[in-house]
A = this chain, B = another copy of it.
Amino acid sequence: MNCWPEVSVRAKIDGMATRSTRTRSSYHHGDLRAALVGAGAELARTGGPEAIVLREVTRIVGVAPNAVYTHFATLAELKSAVAQHALREMAAAMLSHLAQVEEPADAPGAAEVHLREVGRAYVHFALDQPGLFRIAMDGNPDGVGTPGRGEKQRDFASEDRPKPDTLLIAALRRLTEAGLLPAEETDAAVMASWATVHGLATILLNLQPFRSAAEREAAVDAGLHYLLRGLTSRT
The residue that A199 contacts in the complex, of B144, B189, B200, with Cβ under 8 A, is B200
Stretch at the interface among A61-69, A106-114, A226-234: A226-234
Q: Is A197 an interface residue (CB 8 A)?
A: yes
Tell me whether A144 and B208 are in contact (CB under 8 A).
yes
Chain B residues within 8 Å of A192, by CB = 196, 222-223, 225-227
Give the Cβ gap from A39 to chain B, nearest Cβ, in Å.
21
What is the total number of copies of this protein in its complex?
Answer: 2
Tell me whether B191 and A198 are in contact (CB under 8 A).
no
Bound Cα distance from A209 to B223, whole angstroms: 25
Give the Cβ gap from A12 to chain B, nearest Cβ, in Å.
24
Tell me whether A195 and B207 are in contact (CB under 8 A).
no
Tell me whether B230 and A188 are in contact (CB under 8 A).
no
Tell me whether A191 and B230 are in contact (CB under 8 A).
no
Chain B residues within 8 Å of A185, by CB = 222
Bound Cα distance from A228 to B226, whole angstroms: 9
Chain B residues within 8 Å of A195, by CB = 195-197, 199-200, 203, 219, 223
Chain B residues within 8 Å of A187, by CB = 218, 222
CB closest chain-B residue, reference A138: B206
23 contacts between A and B (CB under 8 A): A142-B210, A143-B208, A143-B209, A188-B219, A189-B226, A191-B218, A191-B219, A192-B196, A192-B222, A194-B199, A195-B199, A195-B219, A195-B223, A196-B196, A196-B199, A197-B199, A198-B202, A198-B203, A198-B207, A199-B199, A225-B230, A230-B233, A233-B235
